[in-house]
Structure 1
């Protein structure tokens, strides 16, 4: 069986597998988050001005950018949505939930059209004062909604800085990976024949 046949067989086998449930891993260390997203393209929005990184839009009723952070509020009837094109596998940032005193915390929900609506079980705790909180998902998502958490309060004010976005690798990246694997296989085959 040649290498091309192996790749085609592997792709067919993978497509025949049943769909798995969405899993999300939470990271409180940015270096660990970066390691988890692997070679995915990562962009950082530092909120140094009102121009967002390419592909990112933020929909909020009360939020504004100033002093190098996104200032925002969520409440039972108010949420904020981060949309990104292309799809994401990970998102994180430095969250400060202390501006308005103890609040309800932040609940994260991953969305992708009608194919994904997954609420992350771990909330951002109201005691966060600028620490990193990030997630990596097994399923691609195009939007992340921040809404009220479950702690006893009426709302949550927060500041967000250094938002990091890990995009789903482009198909060209997969093609380059497969081409690289093909070259490795050819090199091994040549080495084996020479020996």
Structure 2
């Protein structure tokens, strides 16, 4: 059994256990699902009660649901359809003055990132977005700053927003990949202190 498969199985078990705990599953079906969770765990050699194994296999702070949502949104964008739950893309109605001011804020943000002042960078990119919300670069750059600041959920949201603005903006897909790489590295780093 590969570690990759065990990670997936643990994520499935966590999803099913969460569905039991939050009431998603009807009371009548809980016992059957609990038995299924045990069987799945045994079949794949995954014990959700073994803290060392969970530490090694967990994909947190991501979850199976968040990864699946991201996959579906990406797939819908790649196929050219608009997700039903997405927010409308901002209108490209920023004035020339606003666009110039937004570019200056972006440059400030870039300098803050270079200086590893990520909170300041996030604020600068936020001001750029407020001035010109139809520029995918600003969301993508803020996603990078969030990622460097270890705020991966916000990084994912901003990368997705960049794709809502411009579904062909490749760098936003790269940002998503980098976020998930960072999550993976952090999971492995958390494992190293336990060894």
Structure 1 length-normalised TM: 0.24
- Larger % of strand: which? 1
Higher relative helix content: 2
TM-score (norm 2): 0.24
